[in-house]
Structure 1
Amino acid sequence: MTDPLAPLLDLEGVAAAVKSAQDAVFAVHRHPANLRAGAATAAEASVRAARASAGIDGGDPDIPAEGSVSDPVLAGSLRVAEAVESLLPVWRRAPLQALAKLHVLAAADLTADADSLGRPRQGTAERLELLGQLVTGATSVPGPVLTAVVHGELLTLRPFGTADGVLARAAARLSMVATGLDPKALTVPEVACFRHVRKYTAAAEAFASGEPDGVREWLLFCCQSYETGAREATGIADSAG
């Protein structure tokens, strides 16, 4: 059976970028602090990822020193971050079910229509099903490629109509873990997307075009974000000692 994503590795520069991203992320897992456990790095990475993801979608990324989080985008992003680890088995087995649960968490404070939570918009079912097949074994491409495709496809499809950006980045995080690219969820590629949000948005739009050059632009951006996320994780681990 032909692997539908295999041709992406033939796009100029993609294979080399994938290898570089893998090397950077794997190095984080060999950091002395992470060899012992990595729990402290993972916990801090999760919070930083949630804050950056909320910021990308226009939320306030700052967590109040006192009191509860009032920004609805950030609140949803933090709920999603907290649930990622528990949703990993569901993602591996039934990714569309995991997406529905993520949407309930991400968008709870963003819509007055509770019945719409976790329910994809009409016209998205076929592409979501194809994406689910990729996640559950229809491709054997390296983790960076599958993660980028999951991320880009969900940004393109916007399957729920609310909190789709937070959802897409959480799904990408799940993909990084599930593919073995970042099994302990130590890295924070979301910070690169936040710091370079215009480039991130432009690359996502290029991916959505479906043109080879556009897809290549997105894949290269994502691979660079994995490297940036690895550097962020190294800083966290250094601080943790």
Structure 2
Amino acid sequence: MSTGTDPLAPLADLPGVPEAVAEVRKAVDRLYGHRVMRRRASEVTSEAALRGARASAALDGADWPLEEVRRRTDFSADAQARTVGGALRISAEAGQLLSTWRHSPLQVLARLHLLAVGDADPSAGRPRRPGEPAANAFPAELDAVEGVGAPVAGGAEVVELPPAPSAEESAARLDQLSQLLAARAEGAAGGTPALVVAAVVHGELLALRPFGEHNGVIARAAQRIVLIAEGLDPKAICPAEVGFAELGTAAYRQALLGYLGGTPDGMARWIAHCGAALRLGVRESTAVCEAMQRGMV
């Protein structure tokens, strides 16, 4: 059972959530115990960052083959290339932002946005202002299709997400989220499993869409930072982004609707979806470890 004063604690006891937390913990522990991790952990981390960035860019509409991402050196040619480049910059730097995240999550989010759009963009690093629109949580070109990876079970119709809250409301809720995370870092609140905290941060950023664009890749990077900060994935070797892409944008959207609804069942479904994505990320890195062990990498 969850304890403490953390306002997120009740989420850990929702139906199905303890099981999701336990399954994730077991999968992550198994990966960290792989014999390759004793000798080549840094290589696994680098590969996870690359694969996570590729998948996150795919979810933002730039679905490039992994080898193309690995081969390219110029990411300025067009919008898709810039999306991939931004995802790579974010993935490479996310682990270095940990100390700042613990006392100023908003500063880290601003940095992630700058990395996503590039410093030449006048909006880089700042949330949207009153009257400025927020881009869709999922790119328009993916709204009309079943999405990256698997479709929603049973061929369910894609449901439109509600519009983002106003810039004022978004800023207020973002400040509340930042205060909650800072309190956890200071030990004033805690006890809630890392998966639950990461899922809430991810879902809230997709709900608020605090920046004019690239909110998806920023939300997924924030989830990764939380998993590092909370000690579940300290070496950043579990690319949940790969799992979200494999499960598909339609399933991603449906799960997010559960979070946006705020009901116990909806919140539980969102947390379970994040857990399933993380386990698939573990599977991806386990395959990398196995390939390294066989001398194929």
Q: In structure 1, list runs of 5 or more residues that go unmatched.
A: none
1:85 is the counterpart of 2:85: no
Question: Which residue, 170, 176, 193 being the options, matches 1:142?
Answer: 193
Counterpart position of 1:224: 276
Amino acid at match of 2:252: Y
1:179 is the counterpart of 2:189: no
Divergent runs of 4+, >6 A: none
Identity %: 43
Identify which range, 164-173 or 117-126, moves more after superposition. 117-126
Contact map agreement 2:56 2:245 (CA 8 A) in 1: yes
TM-score by length of 2: 0.76
Contact map agreement 2:12 2:193 (CA 8 A) in 1: no
Based on CA coordinates, which of the two structures has the bigger radius of gyration? Answer: 2
Counterpart position of 1:68: 74
Partner Cα distance (1:45, 1:67) in 2: 19
Counterpart position of 1:43: 46
The RMSD of aligned alpha carbons is 1.7
Post-superposition offset of 1:67: 4.6
1:125 is the counterpart of 2:128: no
Partner Cα distance (1:125, 1:66) in 2: 37
TM-score by length of 1: 0.93
Post-superposition offset of 1:35: 2.3
1:23 is the counterpart of 2:29: no
Contact map agreement 1:80 1:102 (CA 8 A) in 2: yes
Partner Cα distance (2:260, 2:292) in 1: 39
Counterpart position of 2:10: 7
Q: Secondary structure at the match of 1:32?
A: coil
Contact map agreement 2:243 2:279 (CA 8 A) in 1: no
Post-superposition offset of 1:2: 3.1
Post-superposition offset of 1:140: 2.7
Post-superposition offset of 1:66: 5.0
**Per-residue deviation, residues 148-201 of structure 1 (Å, max 9, x unmatched):** 111111111111121000000000010110000101001111111112221011
Q: Secondary structure at the match of 2:36?
A: helix
Counterpart position of 1:101: 111
1:155 is the counterpart of 2:206: yes
Which of the two has greater helix per residue?
1
Amino acid at match of 1:130: Q
Amino acid at match of 2:97: L
Q: Give runs of aligned pairs for residues 206-221 of structure 1, distance below 5 A.
A: 206-221=258-273
Amino acid at match of 2:280: T
**Per-residue deviation, residues 183-220 of structure 1 (Å, max 9, x unmatched):** 10011111111122210111012211212211111011
**Per-residue deviation, residues 27-67 of structure 1 (Å, max 9, x unmatched):** 11111111234111100000000000000010133335355
